[in-house]
Amino acid sequence: MNHLLRHLAPISDAGWELLDEEARERLQGSLAARRLVDFGGPRGWAHSATNLGRVEEIDSPAADGVSAAQRQVLPLVELRAEFSVSLAELRDNDRGAFDADLEELDVAAQRIAVAENVAVFHGWAKAGIAGIAETSPVEARPLGESGEEYPRSVARAVEALRAVGIEGPYGLALGPDEYTRVIETAEHGGYPLLDHLAKILEGPIVWAPGVKGAVVLSLRGGDFLFESGQDLAIGYSHHDADAVHLYLEESFSFVVATPEAAAPLSP
């Protein structure tokens, strides 16, 4: 038993397996940041802050010859996306039905994945999180109007990183529209654009819902740290005669250690 209170839900083991598997499948396709940045943890629900290794001087208590400083930390944020599942659908699943309606869960999974991606790539000021794109000192150039312009833009971004000593391999986070354009495009001679970009990057090209435009970043490690407290989990809220009300939840922080290890590309 833990804070998720899953044991209180009127859901069978088969039902939990169905919900967890559906959530895992939906989330893994959308959690773009986790494909590209370092992942630390999970440290557990009780973990509240990331150590920044810095201090800020403060006034000491009234005693001569004593200086004081306070440790600086980044508090973890909690994300939660609520959803409901029909009890009738869960009972049908227990009977062997293979087409349970889990639309609300799918929507919640997409929402929380987008929120995580946006926090990592574009920041979240109220949570104290600075995003990869906004902290990069590299000026955001346009990715291009058409897919055929993408290789040149991405190659320039890679070159900008190499020029300041940021080694590869490199990854590319692409907003949904831009990603669709890439997979639909074949260049002159029929060479798939996706393959061309992969050759330039020597790394993955990731569908990143929530990202505006694109971001090229180094995958060498040590530049971008996502610290997980509670990794994504389904918890129980309450239930009534018709439905059980659940939520997807996680806690995390994100720190950019090397702003120059990424180059944003505007839509």
Q: What are phi and psi of 72, to 5 degrees?
A: -100, 130
Other Cβ atoms less than 10 A from the Cβ of 169: the count is: 12
> Smallest distance, Å, CB 14 to another protein?
11
Angstrom distance (rounded) from CA 223 to CA 161:
13
Nearer to another protein, 41 or 131 (CB): 41
| Interface positions with another protein (CB under 8 A) | 1-2, 4, 6, 13, 16-17, 20, 23-24, 27-29, 31, 34-39, 41-47, 206-207, 219, 228, 230-235
> Smallest distance, Å, CB 142 to another protein?
26
Nearer to another protein, 132 or 140 (CB): 132
> Smallest distance, Å, CB 1 to another protein?
7
Angstrom distance (rounded) from CA 252 to CA 82:
18
Other Cβ atoms less than 10 A from the Cβ of 99: the count is: 8
Whether the Cβ atoms of residue 242 and residue 148 lie closer than 8 Å to each other: no
The pairing of beta strand 262-266 with beta strand 141-142: parallel
> Smallest distance, Å, CB 265 to another protein?
20
Nearer to another protein, 148 or 209 (CB): 209
> Smallest distance, Å, CB 108 to another protein?
13
- The contacts of residue 31 (CB under 8 Å, 6+ apart) are 113, 116, 117
Nearer to another protein, 116 or 260 (CB): 116
Question: Cα(first)–Cα(last) distance of the chain, in Å?
Answer: 46
Nearer to another protein, 229 or 264 (CB): 229
Tokens, residue 58: 């403060």
